[in-house]
Amino acid sequence: MLRGAVRASAKAAEGAAAAAPAAAAGGGPGGLLRVGLGLAAGAGICYVTFGDEGRGSSAYHALFTGVVMRGLRLVDPETAHGIGIRAAQLAPADTDQDDPRLAVTIPEWGGATFSNPIGLAAGFDKQGEAMGPMLKAGFGFVEVGTVTPRPQPGNPKPRMFRLVEDRAVINRYGFNSDGADSVSERVAAFRAARTAGDAPSPPKGVAPLGPAAGGPIALPASASGDATVLLRDRVLSGMVGMNVGKNKTTEDAAEDYTIGVETFAPLADYLVVNVSSPNTPGLRDLQRRDQLKALLDAAVAARARAAARADPSGAWGGPPLLVKIAPDVTDSELDDMVAVSLSAGVDGIVVSNTTIDRPDTLRSEHRAEGGGLSGEPVRAKSTDVLRKAYALTRGRIPLVGVGGVSSGQHAYDKIRAGATLVQVYTALAYEGPPLVRRVKRELAALLERDGFASVQEAVGADVKPAEAPARA
């Protein structure tokens, strides 16, 4: 029966994929809409008929990768991105229990526990519209944003380009955002929905990160083998971070970041201050030592104010606060960034954003487009910066590794270079959500092969002894 539904959905999706070139070429927005609806209809047959179990099947994953993703690549990347967000409920789900080796607990974040270290980077779900489906896809955490205080359209289109030959993307979105008010309403609604009903209580001995009035509410997942229960628990246990930035026309950057932090501190499992996008004029100047210090001091103070309002007892200090940096930095600049981050009291660093470099190895016709380059070409560079940042922090705060991850080996390389958590984004443009389950399986196998009982045992394993953090 399941195979019959999959065959039916495959036929519908294949028809849409076959029609996509003509529709995209001659149909304008209406043609592109028909392509999207056709692709969604094919996947929808299986979803409606079998629900969670069907979306977790290997057949559905194969269908999505081989047919739906192929069809989406026939339309322009920003349109495909929009279809992916609007049809996120049809995305393949991961109904397999995560390998126990993949569980990560971060003491510095109040004992926060992730069922696995693979997260969705900011940039995919910019407006907070696909948090639940992406957690069901198997991510251990998702990051929404970047969100600006006021709505803004971002840069003119076209502003996103696939570099297919290079397994890369160039984007110059420019913080297109619905604004903090609209996005916070969606996040608050999601938060309310995932705490309703029969949500499990934290196990004895697990300290909550925040009070009932605010702060992270993610809970450890149960060991149920039922697909519906497991996916419910993925939503309950998955962390949701908020990535905040400044509006293009704002002169006082600290004010914008303060608004973002105060708005989302009571709603987010963690916060990220994004000072590293290359697509907002002057933004990367905020990474300079003095400017970064002033900005992070303001963000930390804003978090404290928001936490005090949410919990007047003072028992809660607010969600973990991280800063996201660029890969295009000198060793001296990185040293300054890390030193300022540690002195300001931030709780982690995301390494790294997109690059403005254009390696000579790029082959795509779009290689000269302006914007930030992500994907395979930035992987080695971002991992090198990550390794240096880990040596500089000496393990005092967690690092999140992002840049070019499309396999378990890539994630493992980031972990061995110092990442406690790893994020994926560009690879989704080529493989879609089925990528998540594969990356986790490969990562678990690599940990087992090398004798690591957990992700945390492998963190920083490739850092040279002279660089390695001092251990008690």
Domain 95-458 grouped into CATH 3.20.20.70: yes
pLDDT at 279: 85
pLDDT at 178: 98
Q: Where are the domains of the chain?
A: 1-92, 95-458
Tell me how far apart the alpha carbons of residues 232 and 26 are, in angstroms, rounded to a whole number.
42
pLDDT at 230: 84
pLDDT at 465: 58
* 115 assigned to active site: no
Structure tokens at 134: 């992406």
Helix, strand, or coil here: 287? Answer: helix
Helix, strand, or coil here: 164? Answer: helix
SS (H, E, C) 13-71: HHHHHHHHHHHHHHCHHHHHHHHHHHHHHHHHHHHHHHHHHHHCCHHHHHHHHHHHHHH
pLDDT at 50: 56
Pairing assessment for the beta strands 141-147 and 160-163 based on DSSP bridges: unpaired
Structure tokens at 350: 């995301």
pLDDT at 306: 94
The strand ranges marked E within 148-303 are: 160-163, 168-171, 239-244, 270-274
pLDDT at 438: 97
pLDDT at 204: 35
pLDDT at 275: 94
The rounded Cα 198 to chain-centroid distance in angstroms is 27
pLDDT at 77: 96
pLDDT at 22: 45
Angle at 413 between CA 376 and CA 453, to 5 degrees: 145
**Cβ-contact 399, 349 below 8 angstroms:** yes
Closest CA to 118 of 96, 97, 135: 135
- Overall size of the chain counted in residues: 472
- Residues 377-408 as b/e (b if ≥16 CB within 10 A, e otherwise) read bbbebbbebbbbbbbbbebebbbbbbbbbbbb
pLDDT at 446: 98
pLDDT at 455: 98
- Under-50 pLDDT residues of the chain: 1-2, 6, 10, 12-28, 197-221, 471-472
Q: Which phi and psi (to 5°) does residue 82 adopt?
A: -65, -40
Q: Which of 115, 277, 382, 406 is catalytic?
A: 277
Tell me how far apart the alpha carbons of residues 452 and 101 are, in angstroms, rounded to a whole number.
8
Global confidence as pTM: 0.88
Q: Give kind and range of the element (H or E) at residue 374.
A: strand 372-375
